[in-house]
C-alpha cells in the first residue's frame, strides 16, 4: 500500500576515472543499502485521494530534509554508499554543492517501496495521471535583513502566526516565536497586555518580504503568577496604527 511519501538522495558520481558510480544516501540511522526515508499519511489516507504538499529543504552540501503536508521533516544525511558490485571511491568528495533544478515526473518504483502497477492500471487515465497545483522554489535569506522584493511577486498571502506559547526567557521578558508571509516589506508589532488590559510592552520589527520564522525577546517586566496576552500584528510598512493590520494572532500565557 502506497500510503505516504518516500524520499531519497541519488545521483551518478564521476570522479574522473572514466566511470559513473551509482551513489545513494543511506537510510537515516541505518546501514541499509535501501536509501532514503518514508513518511506516512494518516491511517486510511492515500496520496491519490487529495492534493498534498511535498517539500525538500536543501540544508547543506551534506544533508537535506523532506516534508509531507508541512509536518516536521525527516533529515537525510548524504552518507553515500556504493552498490556492492562497484569499486570503492572517496565518498568525502561527494558533496552536493552545485546548482540544481526541479523536474516534475511521473514514475513507478518497484519493491520495497510499492508494488509495480499492472498493465491495466498503466493504461487507465484515472490512475496514470499526476496533477500539480503549484510548484515553488525558495532562497534561504536572513529574515532580519532587507531582501530584494518584486511588485510582481504574488507568492504569499499576508499572514502572521504565533507558533509557540510564549515562554519566559529571563526575569521580566518573554520569548515569542512568530511566523509571517508577505509579498512586500511590512511591519510587525508585538504588544503584551496584562489582565487589566494595560500595555506592558510594545515593540515594532521590520517584516521583510517572504516567509519568516523568527524568535523575539520582549522586555515586559512580567511578574511570576500573572497572566499576559501576547498580540502579534502584521502591518503596512509605514503604518502606525494596529487598526491597519492585515492580520493578527494572539496567545495567552501565565508566568510561572
pLDDT at 236 over 60: yes
Report the pLDDT averaged over residues 156-184: 83
Dist. CA 49–CA 228, nearest whole Å: 43
Report the pLDDT averaged over residues 186-215: 92
Q: What local confidence, expressed as pLDDT, does residue 30 receive?
A: 46
Q: Which residue has the cell 484515472?
A: 126
Q: What local confidence, expressed as pLDDT, does residue 244 receive?
A: 96
Q: Which residue has the cell 521533516?
A: 73
| Sheet hosting strand 80-82, strand order edge to edge | 10-13, 21-25, 80-82
φ, ψ dihedrals at 161, nearest 5°: -150, 130
Report the pLDDT averaged over residues 123-139: 86
Distances from the Cα of 216 to the Cα of 18, 104, 142, 230, angstroms: 53, 38, 15, 12
- Ranges in the chain annotated CATH 2.60.40.2550: 159-254
Architecture of domain 159-254: Sandwich (2.60)
Q: What is the DSSP string of 80-119?
A: EEE-TTS----GGG----S------------TTT-PPPPH
Amino acid at each position: 500500500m502506497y500510503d505516504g511519501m518516500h524520499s531519497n538522495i541519488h545521483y551518478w558520481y564521476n570522479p574522473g576515472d572514466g566511470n559513473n558510480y551509482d551513489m545513494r544516501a543511506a537510510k537515516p540511522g541505518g546501514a541499509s543499502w535501501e536509501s532514503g526515508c518514508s513518511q506516512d499519511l494518516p491511517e486510511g489516507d492515500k496520496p491519490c485521494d487529495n492534493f498534498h504538499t511535498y517539500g525538500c529543504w536543501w540544508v547543506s552540501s551534506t544533508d537535506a530534509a523532506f516534508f509531507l503536508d508541512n509536518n516536521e521533516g525527516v533529515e537525510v544525511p548524504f552518507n553515500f554508499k556504493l552498490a556492492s558490485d562497484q569499486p570503492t571511491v572517496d565518498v568525502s568528495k561527494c558533496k552536493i554543492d552545485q546548482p540544481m533544478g526541479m523536474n516534475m515526473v511521473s514514475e513507478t518504483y518497484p519493491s520495497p517501496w510499492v508494488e509495480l502497477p499492472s498493465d491495466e492500471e498503466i493504461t487507465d487515465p484515472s490512475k496514470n495521471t499526476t496533477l500539480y497545483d503549484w510548484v515553488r522554489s525558495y532562497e534561504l535569506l536572513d529574515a532580519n535583513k532587507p531582501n530584494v522584493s518584486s511588485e510582481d511577486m504574488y507568492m504569499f498571502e499576508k499572514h502572521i502566526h504565533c507558533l509557540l506559547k510564549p515562554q519566559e526567557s529571563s526575569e521580566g521578558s518573554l520569548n515569542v516565536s512568530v511566523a509571517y508571509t508577505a509579498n512586500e516589506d511590512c511591519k510587525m508589532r508585538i504588544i503584551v497586555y496584562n489582565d487589566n488590559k494595560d500595555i506592558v510592552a510594545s515593540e515594532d520589527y521590520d517584516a521583510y518580504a517572504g516567509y519568516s520564522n523568527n524568535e523575539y525577546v520582549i522586555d515586559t517586566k512580567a511578574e511570576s503568577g500573572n497572566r499576559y496576552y501576547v498580540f502579534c500584528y502584521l502591518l503596512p510598512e509605514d503604518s502606525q496604527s494596529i487598526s491597519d493590520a492585515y492580520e493578527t494572532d494572539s496567545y495567552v500565557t501565565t508566568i510561572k
